[in-house]
Amino acid sequence: MKEECFFTDGELARKCGVTVRTLQYYDQCGLLSPSRYSEGGRRLYDIEDVLRLQQILFFKGFGFSLEEIRDRLMTINSTQDFAKLLARQKEVIKEQIRHLEHITAIMDETIKRIESSENLSINMVMAILKAAKQNNFYARLLTISTKNTWSPF
């Protein structure tokens, strides 16, 4: 008779490189529920749960949201469907790269003008703010500038 092997949430978290809180959150949002609970109420995961967690981490690595993983990816029935989803996600990532390259170009131009002591035009400042707003860059810039008591504006 084959003996079942179970992992506690702490053991599974260590083995898979996630936190216990992550496992609890995945359970809460319906992504990964433990196979059973111990008499003391601890979550216990079997090998199928481990494989499911690996799938979740795989999809997260490709930039899919937890909602997408739960609603679409974990219910894929064919390799063609999987390929279509990956192709769509690839396009999303390419667009993010283009956006980040655009922001980088604006930042390079801004740095060049600051270092050459040129005044920044209102158009340049507006371009920075527009690009920043689209990527939440401005919020991070404000955090950095308040920590260092320096602001480029």
Beta-carbon contacts of residue 86 (< 8 Å; ≥ 6 apart): 62
Report whether 51 contacts 17 (CB < 8 A): no
Is the predicted pLDDT of residue 150 greater than 60, yes or no? no
The listed range with the strongest mean pLDDT (25-34, 103-112, 122-131) is 25-34
Is the predicted pLDDT of residue 3 greater than 70, yes or no? no
Give me the residue label for tokens 């997260």. 60
- What is the structure's pLDDT at 145? 40
The string of pLDDT tens digits covering residues 31-71 is: 999 999 999 999 999 998 998 899 899 889 888 889 988 88
Percent of the chain scoring above 70 in pLDDT: 79
- What is the structure's pLDDT at 143? 44
Strands 36-37 and 7-8: unpaired
Q: Using 50, 70 and 90 to split pLDDT, how confident is the model at 141? A: very low
Residue 140: how many other CB atoms lie within 10 Å: 11
Is the predicted pLDDT of residue 30 greater than 80, yes or no? yes
Q: How far is residue 93's CA from residue 61's CA, in Å, rounded to a whole number?
A: 12
The string of pLDDT tens digits covering residues 113-137 is: 778 876 767 777 777 777 766 655 4
**Pair of tokens at residue 4:** 């079942």
Q: Which of 7-16, 20-29, 134-143 has the lowest mean pLDDT?
A: 134-143
In the chain, where are the structural domains located? 7-75, 90-148
The mean pLDDT of the chain is 80
Interval 11-33 mean pLDDT: 94
Element (H, E) at 7: strand 7-8
CATH class, domain 7-75, is mainly alpha
